[in-house]
């Protein structure tokens, strides 16, 4: 109660605290002050002048000026004056912005810019206007010449929404405060159903319900349109001027009503009565009588043309002392005819100005006095109550309506000031101290206060930050469309990289379409929304396969329970990773192709896939265990072979049969996937018979000379005590002729059928099968035999004296395309341009690239200029050795790979020593599909295809030739 008593004392309501009080509020609409607002050396403006004219005394001043002693400032810019004689309380708030004060504030406060100061000032103005509508009987907006500014209409619309949202909570809070202070509650504040006690509900006079109170008050609103220019006012007679102003008044009133109805600020008239219904939740109501509710204060020509910067001049509404008649006559002394005519014109002008001046003085006060009586005695809500409780219903239409006393008004002001202005109110009044006591006595008051503060912050902020409101709605709409764009064409689950790419795209789209201060805020919300969509069921496993592809299944699929899921035949196992890519690859021997899933496991990639084939060990084929076998010279190596299983190793070596299995005229037979005419191995000239004969002759010559020397020494007498040496008969065989080294596929003249064992000695588990050197030819017709003999003689003449083998490097792409290469990564076809002249000799003496572009990249004309995307990998090495004892072939593959970080890795594929290939055999070496570092990580290849093509090679000298001289010459040497 201490706070209420202090407010009563400060506002001079203490003397009339028990008397009825009429409350009138005046609101001056905003507008930047111009230099013309300076008059007679005093800082004033039109709003302040009109307010003082209405009161009849100079009690109000512009903001930031010293207040008179009779006026109190309830909050910043909200002034209050109490006229004790007429028992009327006047509230005034000027929304005009003082540019000089604004400039000083911005200079002193470097943390806030001009925009922040303007928004703060407008927020305080709206809160003061709301207080006026909640406690007043009559509200008088002072309109500028533009009548209804857009800012004022926006403020009214938002304040109406605020009133609609808080009136119930505010009524209950005010009741709790009055109960805490032990103040009589005005009987007209609450509706009958809101009163808790049944007896009190019965005692309440229903004729006086709901017309005043901080929550239920619905004030009348009338307008003063100031400084309105009347066209040709100086040329219109006095009678016509009144008619013109009357018509202007009627037109303005009609437009104001139409505008308010369009903004839904006043309800439509019911039926044809022309009277709008009034509800307690309405912010205000307009008069429904025939009396005008808009008063026009015209701008006089004198006021329009005078300079307010002159200290001697005086504006139309100045309270300075008027000039005396004697002074005026002395200043305007002119007795001639021209002066007389001029005086007549001035007299006419003064008459017009007096009429216009009356509109801003006497007529203005009469207008306000009339509507004060109407608001306190003939309020539209009074008429509704009198009609509903007329003489037939026991009501008395002549009874007086009680007014709120000073105590009730001061207590209501205290509550509203605390809620609306908070810390912005005068600190010395201590409005916040009473809240604790009210909340203690009424626990529900805390929730009411919180609800009211939330609604106030939201609605007033939306009006003050109108640019922010537009930006918020616009950015929200754009954000929703961007979310739809993010979801468009997105797979059920996808990787983080794809998510970031899609998110960046929609954020870039949002940035081009969003506007205003809320753009950054909703950009952050859009980013969070996209992240949330991805994380809630759209994250993929993101397990990287060995080929660099990502698992397409959802995250955590390997832990899902698959036992209760009904599976079909073609359904894949959901517990295993899958990138959605499948490749067409051949088996170890190269006969059959099958689909393989993109591998995620190294053992599956290099071993498991090839164990599914059954063709590799059929028809006498055998697998040589690279890890267990001991390689080296022909008489020293030990081979471990297996006829049932291929050893579990990253590379595999197979014996496919004798040399006759491969026919050069046909190529690799019954092998799936080879491109047209690309299945031919390269002929490899291992040695020439003439060169071998010359070497043997030279070796035998050296051997003969050494033998003769020994013979001479032997014919001499032996030394004493020595027995003579007994000569033994020579067992060396004569030098073989050219027919001992036939070309592969030719027949010797002798037709010998002796067997040669192709497997080396000292084999452990099993030996390679023995093959006959030649097979007996079946009987053919004489004519056919003659033709064959002719072709054979031509071939024998061409290949006479050559020992040949075959070698080939097979590439395979993910689509199953296979081809043999003749070096430099080129595809090898029969008779193609650029074929190496020396065939296999050129091939074995160069580095063979591990990766080459597949010819399927250039299958269509459109792809000839594009960079290759499909890469073929060196997958198998074929070698055919001849049935000859003159030479042997050894194999020791070495692979060199340089990764994207310039680290070099070399692989021996298990061949620590060179493997001497058995004679008369066809072998194939399958290379690993995936190469890994010693630590088990896949070697990164980098994004550049060109770097990948040149940074991985099979080193040259993988195959080497070893000449074998006769036993006699070896002994001789």
- 3-state SS of 320-386 is CCCCCHHHHHHHCCCCCHHHHHHHHHHHHHHHHHHHHHHHCCHHHHHHHHHHHHHHHHCCHHHHHHH
Q: Give the pLDDT score at 206.
A: 46
- Section 288-314 average pLDDT: 59
Two tokens, residue 323: 């000039």
Query: From its phi and psi, is residue 939 left (phi > 0), alpha (psi between -120 and 50) or beta?
Result: beta
From CA 732, how far away is CA 748, in angstroms rounded? 23
Residues 6+ apart with CB under 8 A from 536: none
From CA 695, how far away is CA 972, in angstroms rounded? 13
Cβ contact 959:888 at 8 Å: no
More confident residue, 704 or 351: 704
Confidence band for 163, pLDDT divided at 50, 70 and 90: confident
More confident residue, 953 or 43: 953
**Which of 321-325, 330-334, 469-473 shows the lowest mean pLDDT across its residues?**
330-334
pLDDT at 268 over 50: yes
pLDDT at 387 over 70: no
Q: What residue has token string 């039926």? A: 271
Q: What 3-state DSSP class applies to 113?
A: coil
**Which of 76-85, 460-469, 516-525, 759-768 shows the lowest mean pLDDT across its residues?**
759-768
Q: What is the largest CA-CA distance in the chain?
A: 188
Query: From its phi and psi, is residue 910 left (phi > 0), alpha (psi between -120 and 50) or beta?
Result: left
Q: What 3-state DSSP class applies to 653?
A: strand
pLDDT at 288 over 70: yes
From CA 679, how far away is CA 675, in angstroms rounded? 8
Nearest to 538 by CA among 555, 557, 561: 555
Of 670-674, 695-699, 944-948, highest mean pLDDT: 670-674
Confidence band for 587, pLDDT divided at 50, 70 and 90: very high
Number of helices and strands in the chain (H, E): 24, 30
Rounded alpha-carbon distances, angstroms, from residue 942 to 241, 602, 929:
92, 20, 18
Cβ contact 375:260 at 8 Å: no
**Which of 147-161, 185-199, 259-273, 582-596 shows the lowest mean pLDDT across its residues?**
185-199
pLDDT at 41 over 50: no
Residues 6+ apart with CB under 8 A from 106: 112, 113, 114, 117
pLDDT at 528 over 90: yes
Model confidence, pTM: 0.52
Convert the pLDDT of each residue in 215-227 to its tens digit. 777 888 999 888 7
Cβ contact 936:942 at 8 Å: no
Dihedral over alpha carbons 73, 74, 77, 81 (to 10 degrees):
-50
Rounded alpha-carbon distances, angstroms, from residue 520 to 406, 465, 485, 527, 689:
51, 16, 19, 11, 86
Convert the pLDDT of each residue in 718-746 to its tens digit. 555 555 555 444 433 333 333 333 444 44
- Section 283-303 average pLDDT: 78
- Section 707-721 average pLDDT: 53
More confident residue, 167 or 589: 589
Find how far residue 839's CA is from the centre of its chain: 59
Confidence band for 796, pLDDT divided at 50, 70 and 90: low
Q: Give the pLDDT score at 119.
A: 78
More confident residue, 345 or 587: 587
Characterize the bridge pairing of strands 22-28 and 88-94. Answer: parallel
Question: Helices 496-513 and 466-487 sit at what angle, rounded to 10 degrees?
Answer: 140
Confidence band for 356, pLDDT divided at 50, 70 and 90: low
From CA 816, how far away is CA 834, in angstroms rounded? 26
Average pLDDT, the chain: 75
Q: What is the DSSP string of 761-812?
A: SS-SS--PPPEES--PPPP--HHHHHHHHHHHHHHHHHHTTEEEEEEEEEEE
For 99-108, b where at least 16 C-beta lie within 10 A, e where not — what string? eebbeebeee
Q: Give the pLDDT score at 160.
A: 87
From CA 83, how far away is CA 81, in angstroms rounded? 7
Q: Give the pLDDT score at 914.
A: 92
- Section 646-665 average pLDDT: 91
Q: What 3-state DSSP class applies to 197?
A: coil
Q: How many residues does the chain have?
A: 973
Residues 6+ apart with CB under 8 A from 158: 126, 459, 460, 462, 463
Cβ contact 681:668 at 8 Å: yes
Two tokens, residue 51: 């307010």
For 828-867, b where at least 16 C-beta lie within 10 A, e where not — what string? bbeeeeeebeebbbbbbeebbbbbbbbbbbeeeeeeeeee
């Amino acid at each position: 109660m201490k706070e209420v008593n202090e407010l009563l004392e400060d506002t001079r309501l203490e003397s009339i605290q028990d008397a009825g009080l009429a409350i009138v509020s005046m609101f001056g609409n905003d507008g930047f002050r111009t230099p013309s607002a300076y008059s007679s050396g005093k800082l004033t403006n039109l709003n302040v002048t009109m307010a003082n004219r209405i009161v009849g005394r100079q009690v109000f001043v512009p903001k930031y000026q010293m207040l008179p002693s009779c006026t109190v400032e309830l909050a910043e810019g909200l002034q209050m004056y109490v006229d004790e004689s007429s028992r009327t309380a006047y509230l005034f708030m000027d929304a005009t912005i003082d540019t000089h004060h604004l400039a000083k504030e911005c200079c002193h406060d470097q943390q806030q810019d001009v925009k922040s100061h303007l928004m703060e000032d407008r927020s305080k103005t709206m809160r003061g206007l709301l207080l006026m509508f909640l406690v007043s009987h009559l509200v008088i907006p002072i309109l500028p010449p533009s009548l209804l500014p857009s800012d004022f209409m926006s403020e009214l619309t938002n304040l109406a929404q605020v009133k609609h949202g808080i009136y119930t909570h505010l009524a209950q809070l005010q009741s709790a405060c009055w109960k805490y202070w032990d103040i009589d509650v005005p009987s007209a504040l609450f509706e009958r159903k809101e009163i808790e006690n049944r007896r009190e509900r019965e005692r309440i006079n229903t004729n006086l319900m709901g017309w005043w109170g901080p929550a239920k008050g619905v004030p009348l609103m009338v307008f003063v349109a100031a400084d309105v220019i009347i066209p040709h006012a100086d040329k219109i007679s006095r009678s016509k001027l009144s008619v013109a102003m009357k018509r202007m008044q009627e037109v303005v009133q009609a437009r104001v009503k139409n505008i308010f109805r369009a903004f839904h600020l006043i309800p439509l008239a019911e039926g044809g009565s022309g009277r709008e219904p009034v509800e307690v939740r309405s912010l205000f109501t307009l008069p429904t009588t025939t009396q005008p509710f808009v008063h026009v204060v015209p701008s006089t020509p004198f006021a329009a043309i005078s300079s307010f910067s002159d200290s001697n001049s005086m504006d139309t509404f100045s309270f300075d002392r008027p000039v005396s008649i004697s002074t005026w006559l002395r200043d305007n002394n002119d007795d001639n005819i021209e002066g007389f005519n001029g005086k007549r014109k001035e007299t006419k002008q003064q008459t017009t100005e007096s009429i216009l001046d009356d509109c801003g003085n006497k007529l203005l006060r009469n207008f306000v006095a009339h509507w004060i009586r109407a608001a306190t005695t003939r309020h539209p809500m009074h008429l509704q109550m009198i009609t509903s409780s007329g003489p037939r219903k026991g009501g008395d239409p002549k009874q007086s309506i009680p007014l709120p006393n000073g105590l009730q008004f001061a207590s209501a002001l205290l509550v509203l000031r605390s809620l609306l202005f908070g810390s912005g109110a005068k600190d010395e009044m201590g409005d916040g101290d009473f809240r604790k006591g009210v909340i203690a006595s009424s626990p529900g008051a805390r929730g009411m206060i919180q609800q009211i503060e939330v609604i106030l912050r939201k609605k007033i902020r939306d009006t003050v930050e109108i640019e922010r409101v537009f930006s918020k709605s616009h950015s929200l709409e754009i954000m929703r469309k961007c979310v739809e764009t993010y979801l468009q064409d997105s797979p059920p689950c996808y990787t983080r990289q794809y998510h970031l790419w899609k998110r960046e795209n929609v954020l870039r789209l949002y940035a081009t379409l969003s506007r205003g201060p809320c753009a950054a805020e909703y950009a952050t919300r859009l980013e969070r929304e996209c992240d949330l969509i991805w994380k809630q069921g759209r994250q993929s496993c993101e397990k990287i396969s060995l080929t660099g592809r990502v698992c397409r299944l959802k995250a955590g699929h390997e832990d899902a329970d698959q036992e209760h899921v009904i599976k079909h035949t073609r359904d894949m196992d959901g517990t295993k990773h899958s990138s959605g890519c499948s490749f067409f690859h051949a088996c170890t021997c190269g006969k059959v192709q099958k689909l393989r899933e993109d591998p995620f496991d190294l053992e599956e990639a290099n071993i498991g896939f090839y164990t599914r084939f059954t063709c590799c060990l059929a028809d006498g084929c055998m697998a040589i265990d690279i890890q267990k076998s001991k390689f080296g010279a022909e008489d020293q190596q030990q081979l471990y072979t297996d006829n049932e299983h291929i050893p579990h190793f990253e590379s595999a070596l197979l014996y496919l049969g004798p040399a006759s299995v491969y026919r050069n005229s046909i190529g690799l037979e019954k092998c799936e996937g080879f491109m047209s005419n690309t299945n031919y191995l390269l002929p490899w000239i291992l040695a020439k018979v003439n060169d071998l004969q010359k070497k043997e002759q030279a070796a035998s010559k050296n051997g003969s000379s050494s033998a003769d020397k020994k013979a001479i020494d032997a014919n001499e007498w032996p030394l004493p005590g020595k027995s003579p040496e007994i000569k033994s008969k020579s067992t060396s065989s004569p030098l073989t002729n050219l027919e001992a080294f036939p070309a592969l596929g030719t027949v010797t003249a002798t037709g010998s059928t002796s067997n040669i064992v192709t497997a080396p000695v000292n084999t452990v588990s099993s030996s390679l099968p023995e093959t006959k050197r030649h097979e007996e030819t079946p009987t053919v017709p004489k004519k056919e035999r003659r033709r064959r003999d002719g072709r054979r003689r031509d071939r024998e003449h061409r290949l006479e004296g050559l020992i040949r083998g075959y070698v080939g490097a097979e590439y395979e792409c993910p689509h199953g395309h296979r081809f043999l290469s003749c070096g430099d990564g080129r595809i090898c076809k029969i008779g193609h341009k650029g074929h190496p002249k020396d065939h296999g000799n050129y091939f074995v003496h160069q580095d063979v690239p591990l990766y080459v572009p597949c010819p399927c990249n250039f299958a269509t004309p459109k792809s000839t200029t594009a960079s290759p995307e499909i890469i073929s990998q060196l997958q198998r090495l074929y070698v055919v050795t001849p049935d000859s004892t003159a030479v042997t072939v050894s194999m020791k593959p070495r692979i060199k790979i340089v990764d994207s970080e310039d680290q070099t890795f070399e692989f021996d594929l298990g061949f620590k020593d060179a493997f001497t290939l058995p004679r008369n055999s066809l072998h194939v070496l399958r290379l690993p599909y995936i190469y890994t570092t010693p630590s088990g990580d896949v070697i990164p290849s980098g994004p550049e295809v060109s770097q990948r093509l040149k940074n991985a090679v099979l080193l040259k000298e993988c195959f080497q030739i070893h000449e074998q001289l006769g036993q006699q010459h070896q002994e001789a040497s």
